[in-house]
Amino acid sequence: MPKAPQLVVALDLPSLEENLALARIISLCPKRENIWLKVGLRAFIRDGAKGVEMIKKTSGARIFLDLKLYDIPNTMADAANECANLGIDMMTIHASSGLDGMRAVMQALAKSAPDMKVMAVSALTSFDDRSFYAVYGKKVDSGVCDLSALASEAGVSGMVCSVLESSAIKAAHSHLLTLTPGIRPAQDQKPDDQKRTATIQEAINAGADFLVIGRPIYTAQDPKAAIESALMQIDCLQGGLQ
């Protein structure tokens, strides 16, 4: 029986107070154990470790620190250890940082935080084939396939990808988790800067393990209702698969 995916709410709001208000709403959700909170570049650069601590305390949720590390192996390993010191549960590195960088991170965390989930970013969901080709010299599908093979060899927990690549990653590497941003819960929702978007139904069909939703929740008129609706959709659609 496939496991229900977890909802990851991106806290990309313009102030710590607004992120904490959303964290408070989440702490009151009946199904809060199925929700992770994502602290990304904006919040971390502004609010730092203290912000992470306050969000964790306010929400009681597991924290995904999405800093997408990309550097030389020694710096990546040291940075990963610093992430572990923040008491977070999941983090991101770039698969394109290469086998040595990813391995260095996994070796460092094997000692400092063996339970940390490390997700390797394949192709950002804001890339389409043309913009990805301009940087990597291949199409998204083949780039994601190559980067997943490298990340699997390095021993990461899973891949950050769009829903469109999730099934292919799982077919090639059944042990890898997939975390998919670019989720737009309703068909007619605007993609914003995302190019490879999908609905919750499509994400579940593709076997995604973590569904990241930011703007469709935090810019909604009623974010609490948007979270509850996403959780309900996950429940109902996942039920349909069983």
Residue 73 binds ligand C5P, judged by CB under 6 A:
no
Q: 118, 213, 234, 237: which one contacts ligand C5P (CB under 6 A)?
A: 213
Q: 83, 95, 204, 212: which one contacts ligand C5P (CB under 6 A)?
A: 212
Q: Smallest Cα–Cα separation from 226: which of 236, 235, 216, 234?
A: 216
List the structure tokens of 232: 């309900």
Residue 229 binds ligand C5P, judged by CB under 6 A:
no
**Which residues are catalytically annotated?**
66, 68, 71
Q: H-type helices in the chain, by residue range?
A: 16-27, 41-59, 73-85, 99-112, 129-136, 140-154, 163-172, 200-205, 215-218, 223-241
Minimal CB distance to ligand C5P: which residue? 214
Please say whether the beta carbons of 66 and 92 come within 8 A.
yes
Do the annotations mark residue 69 as ligand-binding? Answer: yes
| Contact positions with ligand C5P (CB under 6 A) in 120-159 | 121, 124-125
Choose between 139 and 215: whose C-beta lies nearer to ligand C5P.
215
Do the annotations mark residue 14 as ligand-binding? Answer: no
Q: 5, 143, 158, 181: which one contacts ligand C5P (CB under 6 A)?
A: 181
- Of 96-104, 128-136, 139-147, 210-218, the window that binds ligand C5P (rule: CB under 6 A) is 210-218
List the structure tokens of 200: 């919750």
Give Cα 30 to chain centroid, integer Å: 22
DSSP states of 171-193: HH-TT-EEEE--B-SSTTS--TT
β partners of residue 177: 158
Residues near ligand C5P (CB under 6 A): 10, 12, 40, 66, 121, 124-125, 160, 181-182, 192, 194, 212-215
From the annotation, which residues make up the binding site for substrate?
A: 12, 38, 66-75, 125, 184, 194, 214-215
